[in-house]
Amino acid sequence: MNSRVKTRPGSYEKEALNRLKEKSVVVHNTKDLDPLMDRIGDARIVMLGEASHGTHEYYTWRSRITKRLIVEKGFDFIAVEGDWPDAYRLNRFIKHYDDSERVEDVLHSFDRWPTWMWANWEIAALAGWLRTHNDALPKDRRIGFYGLDVYSLWDSLEAIRNYLIKTDPTALEAIEKTFRCFEPYKTDDGSSYAYASLSLPKRCEQDVLNLLQDIRKRSPAYDHDYENAFSTEQNALIAVNAEKYYRSMIGGGPDSWNIRDSHMEETLERLLEFHGPSSRVIVWEHNTHIGDASATDMAQEGMYNIGELARQKFSLREVVLVGFGSYEGTVIAGRSWGADMQKMEMPPARDGSWEFLLHEAGGENRLLIMKEFDDAVFHKQIGHRAIGVVYRPQYESYGNYVPSVLPQRYDAFIFIDKTKALHPLHMKPDGHLVPDTYPFGE
């Protein structure tokens, strides 16, 4: 229940509301996104955020933008905040490497909690469109779909083993040695490995480094399916960075978050290199990842993210960051980590927040091109809602808002006044849970 007492707008709010009404663009349909397409221009990297992992409109509006970028601007692939092995299976499906499965069956591979992030009907619809679009393209030009995340240690090791059994059985020794090292810690979320590393630091580090080195040495011989060879090397890199990630969990602080986002940025760069010097990518991640962390209080905690790293690595002209937010509605989330997914009520946004201001500006869906707001009026750190896979609406007034200078955090922002929950495929997680690394449940 929202118990706030509404106050009259002060002079700052009045000025902000007038500017938002004057300079933002009301959006009802895909055509209304033309100013965003103009802002994207010839950018190579477009990152599309979300203020929750369980909102229907974030997925559908990102799908509309994605389709336009592919059709009108020739973007080559999508990279998401998901596990590499699961996303790679979907990638092979939409590229017609396997015509025997239905998209629902493929999406069932996303079985790590929170399953609903990618195993939902909104993604099924996008995958169907991508598969149809790819049908008319030559194999080397088909749109790809890849996961950027670092969580898939066990699935990645299993994928390497399966690949080597079929392709190069003589290389199995390194992967079996790595399996033996991690075997005692396979039944939980990585915390037992983290605690074990207290008595024996870097317990399995050398094994995963040797595995990556061995895969890289042998990969030139795996030329019968170049993308599968690339995927195998990527899984070895995930093993290296996942080991580092789990080891960092025990110390607290920003290290585990930064390791994760550094891995996602490294994977993004590898994918761009793999697809060639003129390749262009669409990234789907939470706002807390794609919105430049240096424009938030995350920077004060020593945290950075993929949006900030991409701006540093590439020119500002090459990177466009697009945030999303909404005022009220419903959302899919869990009450605690690993809990059953639920459809929850999302109360009206907190007074004084960016979402509150945008609602007060007229209660319509709006597009903000941030260069129109890059002045003193909006250069304040104001609360910006961030709902994660763990959400407790009754406590929202005490958290869930990241102080942000919005024109510095994003290049564009899409506000949906009232949103509804997305539509999961209603699967149960496999029990391999990864603890949260950000206080808002990102």
Residues 169 and 247 in one domain: yes
Q: What is the pLDDT of residues 133-189, one digit of tens each?
A: 999 999 999 999 999 999 999 999 999 999 999 999 988 998 999 999 888 887 666
Strand, helix or coil for residue 327 = strand
In a domain, 79, yes or no: no
Per the structure, the count of domains in the chain is 2
Residues 311 and 380 in one domain: yes
Residues 223 and 349 in one domain: no
Q: Give me the chain's average pLDDT, please.
A: 90
Asked whether 17 and 361 are in contact (CB, 8 A), the reply is yes
pTM greater than 0.85: yes
Strand, helix or coil for residue 283 = strand
In a domain, 273, yes or no: no
What are the φ and ψ backbone dihedral angles of 370, each rounded to 5 degrees? -65, -20
For strands 281-284 and 25-26, give the pairing. unpaired
Residues 297 and 240 in one domain: no
Range(s) of the domain holding residue 68: 11-73+281-419
Whether the predicted pLDDT of 26 surpasses 80: yes
In angstroms, the Cα distances linking 279 to 143, 264, 270, 322, 416 are 11, 17, 11, 19, 31
Q: What is the pLDDT of residues 77-91, one digit of tens each?
A: 999 999 999 999 999
Name which of 223, 60, 257, 251 is nearest 150 in CA terms. 257
In a domain, 391, yes or no: yes
In a domain, 434, yes or no: no
Instruction: Tell me the mean pLDDT in the region 313-340.
Output: 96
Asked whether 89 and 106 are in contact (CB, 8 A), the reply is yes
Residues 247 and 174 in one domain: yes
Q: What is the pLDDT of residues 187-204, one digit of tens each?
A: 666 777 777 777 666 788
Residues 302 and 217 in one domain: no
Instruction: Tell me the mean pLDDT in the region 302-311.
Output: 98
Q: Locate the DSSP E strands across 273-348.
A: 281-284, 319-333, 342-346
What does the pLDDT read at residue 433?
A: 46
The pair of structure tokens assigned to 154 is 């066990």
Residues 286 and 211 in one domain: no
Residues 314 and 367 in one domain: yes
Whether the predicted pLDDT of 6 surpasses 60: no
Residue type at 47 in one-letter notation: M
Answer with the one of 251, 267, 294 that is the final residue of a domain. Answer: 251
What does the pLDDT read at residue 307?
A: 98
- Please give the share of the chain, as a percent, with pLDDT higher than 70: 92
Residues 241 and 165 in one domain: yes
